[in-house]
Structure 1
Amino acid sequence: MRGRKPKPTVLKIREGNPGKRAINHDEPNAPSSIPSCPDFLDEVAQDEWFRISEILNEMGLLSSADRAALAAYCTVYSRWVHAEEQVKKFGTIVKSPEKGFPMKSPYLTVADQAMETMRKFLVEFGLTPSSRSRLRVEAKKSAEDEFDTFVGAG
């Protein structure tokens, strides 16, 4: 399979289908829900799970099928938090174990790699300012709008 990976239909529709490419109306729809948090996630990852799953659910971008991707994101998030704590503790430059020369902290490398992986997941879920700016969401109707529609005044 070559080229860019196809964008999910829900994201194409929310972006207004700027490329005017055909929309796959036969794409399987996973039930919209917050999946259960996996037991193997550590405390930091679980906290992020509950925080981000609420946001994704409110945006209408989360389904039960997203459990593994969300767990992977939360695992990487936790790794990033732990690495950043170590960078804060030991600094960005440490002494090499053998000769004591200054070197980049291995924790900084872990933090940087985790941050890059997190960014990729955030884009997939539409959670960066850039990816979110391409989404179009229907305005929520107020109770008055629904009543006007019901009585034929809207």
Structure 2
Amino acid sequence: MSPRPKPTAIRRLEGNRGKRAWNHNEPVPPDAQPRCPGHLSAVAQKEWRRLASALHKMGVLTIVDRAALAAYCAAYGRWVEAEEKLKETPTLFKTPAGYVQQSPWLGIANKQLELMGRYMVELGITPASRSRVVAGPTAQPTITFTTTYEDDPREQLRAKIDAIAVRMAAGGAE
């Protein structure tokens, strides 16, 4: 089974290592940052605020990706809740029949962590998916270095020509 195709925005950020053709007919969603859904818990809304603007600035999150980020944030909120309940209750307990069983909160925490991992890969926020992203030419300023040698005859000639041009512009004669 081959991997799912990536959106062109993520492929552009990662670079086209395989030199495969771009999908020029891919729909382009409006470039607007989505609002946080009101149904999310307080913890999930805090996670939304932490991630949404950064993902939008990276060019990964648009208005149509709202549900994916909301699903990640909801899973995050449930995971935090389950982890806090695990602090209060034992991880394993004995049933009335004498069997040892894991806490339901442990199962919830594990399931939410699994869901979060899937969404993190989709949104490009795992360390591995971030390491594949290469910033475009506009993301980093170009710095140009020039070396000037004072004993270079060409530099001395250029300096003399510049000085003559300045004097001529000021109205002086050579």
TM-score by structure 2 length?
Answer: 0.75
**Once structures 1 and 2 are overlaid, which stretch shifts more, 79-88 or 55-64?**
55-64
Q: What is the 5 A alignment of 1:41-52? A: 41-52=40-51
Q: Give SS of 2:75's match.
A: helix
Per-residue CA deviations over 1:51-109 (Å, capped at 9, x if unaligned) read: 1102212222110011111111111111100111111111321232x324332111111
Q: Where does structure 2 lack aligned partners over 5 or more consecutive residues?
A: 145-174
| Pair member with larger Rg | 2
Q: Count residues with an aligned counterpart.
A: 142
- The residue aligned with 1:152 is none
- The residue aligned with 2:21 is 22
Q: Give SS of 1:78's match.
A: helix
Residue of structure 2 aligned with 1:134, choices 127, 132, 135: 132
Per-residue CA deviations over 1:10-29 (Å, capped at 9, x if unaligned) read: 11122111222221022111
- Say if 2:101 is the partner of 1:92: no
Distance 2:35 2:70 in 1: 10
**Once structures 1 and 2 are overlaid, which stretch shifts more, 69-78 or 30-39?**
30-39
- Say if 2:51 is the partner of 1:68: no
TM-score by structure 1 length?
Answer: 0.84
Query: Is the contact made by 2:91 and 2:102 (CA closer than 8 Å) also made in structure 1?
Result: yes
Distance 2:140 2:29 in 1: 22
Q: Give SS of 2:35's match.
A: coil
Q: Give SS of 1:40's match.
A: coil
Distance 2:13 2:35 in 1: 26
Distance 2:64 2:7 in 1: 13
Q: Give SS of 1:94's match.
A: strand
- The residue aligned with 1:150 is none
Q: Where does structure 1 lack aligned partners over 5 or more consecutive residues?
A: 146-154
- The residue aligned with 2:54 is 55
Distance 1:116 1:33 in 2: 29
Distance 1:100 1:86 in 2: 23
Distance 2:13 2:58 in 1: 11
| C-alpha RMSD of matched pairs (Å) | 1.9
Q: Give SS of 1:24's match.
A: coil
What is the identity, as a one-letter code, of the residue corresponding to 1:119? Answer: G
**Once structures 1 and 2 are overlaid, which stretch shifts more, 36-45 or 122-131?**
36-45
Query: Is the contact made by 2:9 and 2:59 (CA closer than 8 Å) also made in structure 1?
Result: no
